[in-house]
Structure 1
């Protein structure tokens, strides 16, 4: 037998041995002999539905235990809303384990996405995150928005006011909206000091029950400009004074 024929015979023999193995690992044959019967989904999660995870995994386990592509399973589960991290492993003879971790949101982004505590933006179903503040600004400055919220929140919380919206313009100018609708223009430079100064004055500014601060421009060296809004009483008088209608005025206040 020539060397060429011996080589061909060896290749054929190797092929006859390897082909069934390749076929099994690709799910072409014998998938029903080693089926994947069990799926365990673990982890602390509240937003992700276990049934949704199973639907994402199911197409990848049809070929049996050996044919399961762990990377493909991981990618399918990671693409689900709220999923931050996924770990997948197989356990002989018929078990697939999927461990996942959810994003923990700290704010809603202006375009409908959510911002996680790690500063990552992720997709979420419409209406999710009710009660969280809204951040609006350049994506690459998300950490700064989180820091500003962390600074502003404790300034107004003792006054019974939540920080509803935090905005950062492309030019680096800050503005906020409080829970009662008050708009604050904090500007650039040292917005933290301006917000703290306004928060100290706010109890005095709220003493008149007939009006409230609608907007405050804090971009002044020694004070701020205020736009007032009249408050309509819950039980108005039958014949209110002629000059008692709703309106607004601007006033500059020194602090």
Structure 2
């Protein structure tokens, strides 16, 4: 046996391999089962949060971090932090020997969603509390991204009139309606949205807008012969060659 060179080489290789594996296993076992080795003792934010409370972030990290620098579950921590209000995304990286660096992307609210949540500028619905004055979106599930895109287009068209969309509604039949900052409702329907709104913008200064011009220092509506105040309440732009107006009667 001892004169069998190939056999001896095989035994020697096996012993070396076993020794290497034993050392590696021991090192891994030592790192895994001894969290006191290189513990996470520092958490750093790459930038000051705008809406997040740093104390809430640190408290969440403290409650979720398990293990040491090598064994901490980064993915679990990331998901836990993204469950915090106002957090859209978070990236986490280790910094040797004892630190975690957190970088947050916060939600930027654009509108309120069905009076129950918020919509960010990417069209994603999220839940958070804010006292910020925002337009309202009324839509069905899955329509928020499209509503954000149309809101931007409508806002650009209305800017020349100094008007803003205060509420935008999209029905399940895909019909669009908006409430403007001058307290006027505009019906656009399901097709030719930009064209219909362009006609509204074109006629507003010469007809719809004039009905709302001040005729006296304390009045913002025209005064007919009867002395009754009139105010444009609703405009239906779904007609190809014109539009329908509904007036609001009485003091407004």
Measured against the shorter chain, the TM-score band is: 0.7 to 0.9
1:204 paired to 2:210: yes
Structure 2: gaps (5+ residues) = 1-14, 214-220, 223-228
Query: 5+ residue gaps in structure 1?
Result: 1-8, 234-255
**Which residue of structure 1 aligns with residue 251 of structure 2?**
232
Structure 1 residues 19-34: aligned runs within 5 Å: 21-26=27-32, 28-29=33-34, 31-34=35-38
User: What does 1:1-255 align with in structure 2 at a 5 Å threshold?
Assistant: 17=23, 21-26=27-32, 28-29=33-34, 31-43=35-47, 45-110=49-114, 112-119=116-123, 121-126=124-129, 128=130, 130-199=132-201, 200-201=203-204, 202-207=208-213, 208-209=221-222, 210-230=229-249, 232=251
* Cα separation, 2, equivalents of 1:49 and 1:24: 36
Worse-superposed segment, 135-144 or 13-22: 13-22
Counterpart Cα distance in 2 of 1:122 and 1:14: 53
SS at match of 1:131: coil
2:11 is matched with none
Larger deviation, residues 205-214 vs 167-176: 205-214
- Change in Cα spacing, 1:88 to 1:82, as seen in structure 2 (3 Å) is same
Q: What is the aligned residue count?
A: 227
CA deviations 1:28-74 (Å, max 9, x no partner) are 43x23422221101136311221121122113435332331111221
Partner of 1:3: none
Counterparts of 1:15 and 1:129, CA distance in 2: 60
- Deviation by residue 1:173-226 (Cα, 9 ceiling, x = unmatched): 110111243222111221222222223323123133432212222222222222
Query: How many Å separate the matches in 2 of 1:150 and 1:203?
Result: 23
SS of the counterpart of 2:163?
coil
Q: CA deviation at 1:12?
A: 9.8
Give the root-mean-square deviation of aligned CA atoms: 3.2
For 1:148 and 1:63, the matched residues in 2 are separated by 48
The TM-score, its normalising length taken from structure 1, stands at: 0.73
Asked whether the 8 Å contact 2:40–2:100 carries over to 1, the reply is yes
In 1: Cα distance, 2:175 partner to 2:165 partner = 17
Report the Cα distance in structure 2 between the residues aligned to 1:194 and 1:133, rounded to whole angstroms: 21
Q: TM-score with structure 2 length normalisation?
A: 0.74
C-alpha distance in 2, partners of 1:129/1:140?
Answer: 25
- Displacement of 1:15 in angstroms is 8.6
Relative to structure 1, the CA distance from residue 25 to residue 42 in structure 2 (aligned partners, 3 Å threshold; closer, same or farther) is: same
How far apart, CA to CA, are the structure 2 residues paired with 1:216 and 1:24? 74
